[in-house]
Structure 1
């Protein structure tokens, strides 16, 4: 058999082997159906976000008598006639009312918000339930005799996704929660160069500490991981796989070689010009 035929046969075998092994590298959560139901049920899928510095909160207090709680709702006040009025923080664009950011509470660098009547409240590290209970205990029954209902919404739950995805960017959730798969779906999924076994998660906690974790999208145990569900301001980086890294290195080497050749030719040209000038 000629060398050419041997080379062709080797190429065909390599392609076939690659074709057989590739599908095992592409699916997410391989064999996830084998995880016992008891294990999945033991994992909490819904968690209230923990407030951190920079969060924007929308806090509304309701009662059977709206005038009793108006003073505790940002942007509302009672007129001399006893009616509820709202400050003009809303803007109207093309006939649509848009809520201004000044209608929300911004958690400052110390983890506090300034609340009407109550004053400063430290909320960093607390959940919605804990904050609602604290506000309720502060106003009832001291200021109002009707037990209120308190609704708290986190308005800027968002994660950042960069690296080997089709649409990197900052993505926001309207329901205060997002898991790693939902985040990747928003970014258009990984591209062909993304390393699905080496996804980096950077997280800043409410106390200022930072965590870095590596996630494997092929591994079914990701569903049981405490990092499957994301927290606000999480940063996800999709690292390049080996082929992407190799391509980048080859390109770098190509540019280095080209620059070296051009530099060498320039030096030779300068030398030749110098010799010609000496002979004149």
Structure 2
């Protein structure tokens, strides 16, 4: 092999090895997470609770030992046979004997609750909403100590971009981490930027905020505001430079590059 060809061959090999090492470094998630102190992780454990946002759909029920005592605080069931229902600010979820009516939070974060009227619940957690309604009706409107329960019915997030299965994903327990959402979307493609995910979120006032998220940064595990998703969040995975470069090449360019590669190989074998 002539020195000049040996030089080019070695140079190309080194470039390929360097690029493969660089590519690997861009793939792993939460690098060196094992080095996080357990005390740091313990501070963020179980501290997250979803908060009520505009357009949320809530199921709120009030129960007492005597059913009559709670009757006025629960919306009436919609009979299953009912076809003509007057539109209101509630939706419904089907039960055995009918449909429980549910509350839609308006743009101001309020619901129209029986007896209490317009009630501000935006920005509150499940426990806070339950306590708010409990304290408002007892003992002012009922002498029996009620049990108030609230449940989110529209806890969902949207995942778009460089994932294998983009779509809208729901959670039954009102809790979803950013990794849960990406796992539901069957993970990022090889072309997804792992160090720059965009999280689009609506706050309790209906304003949009955009947060960059680095999936490779181990401190993400300590940031509950980004690690846990809010209902109606949108996660967008940007394509990396490789995907952008590849998209510029059509079938003709691909054939041309293959031909050039073959030609170089033939010349190398002839000169060897």
Task: State whether TM-score is above 0.5.
Answer: yes
Matching of residues 1-280 of structure 1 within 5 Å: 1-2=1-2, 3-75=4-76, 86-89=77-80, 98-99=94-95, 103-225=101-223, 226-251=225-250
Partner of 2:270: none
Paired residues of 1:165 and 1:191 also in contact (CA < 8 A): yes
- TM-score, normalising length: structure 1: 0.77
CA-to-aligned-CA distance 1:167-221 (integer Å, 9 cap, x gap): 1111111110111111100111000110101111111100233321111111111
Q: Aligned partners of 2:111 and 2:219: how far apart in 1?
A: 39
Q: Are the structure 2 counterparts of residues 104 and 247 from structure 1 closer, same or farther at C-alpha, using a change threshold of 3 Å?
A: same
Paired residues of 1:45 and 1:229 also in contact (CA < 8 A): no
Paired residues of 1:61 and 1:69 also in contact (CA < 8 A): yes
Q: Aligned partners of 2:57 and 2:190: how far apart in 1?
A: 36
Paired residues of 2:63 and 2:146 also in contact (CA < 8 A): yes
Q: Aligned partners of 1:130 and 1:122: how far apart in 2?
A: 11
* Structure 1 position 138, deviation (Å): 2.2
Deviates more, 1:18-27 or 1:135-144: 18-27
Deviates more, 1:183-192 or 1:24-33: 24-33
Unaligned runs of 5+ residues in structure 2 are 83-92, 254-272
Paired residues of 2:108 and 2:205 also in contact (CA < 8 A): no
Q: Match of 1:114, SS? A: strand
- TM-score, normalising length: structure 2: 0.79
Paired residues of 2:194 and 2:215 also in contact (CA < 8 A): yes
* Structure 1 position 89, deviation (Å): 5.0
Q: Aligned partners of 2:40 and 2:81: how far apart in 1?
A: 48
Aligned pairs, number: 239
Q: Match of 1:104, SS? A: strand
Partner of 2:90: none
Q: Are the structure 2 counterparts of residues 180 and 118 from structure 1 closer, same or farther at C-alpha, using a change threshold of 3 Å?
A: same
Q: Match of 2:235, SS? A: strand
Paired residues of 1:89 and 1:102 also in contact (CA < 8 A): no
Paired residues of 2:54 and 2:205 also in contact (CA < 8 A): no
Paired residues of 2:198 and 2:237 also in contact (CA < 8 A): yes
Partner of 1:261: none
Q: Aligned partners of 2:51 and 2:80: how far apart in 1?
A: 28
Paired residues of 1:29 and 1:218 also in contact (CA < 8 A): yes
* Structure 1 position 90, deviation (Å): 8.0
Q: What value does the CA root-mean-square deviation take over the aligned residues?
A: 2.5
Q: Aligned partners of 1:233 and 1:211: how far apart in 2?
A: 12
Unaligned runs of 5+ residues in structure 1 are 76-85, 92-96, 255-280
Paired residues of 1:200 and 1:212 also in contact (CA < 8 A): yes
Paired residues of 1:90 and 1:98 also in contact (CA < 8 A): no
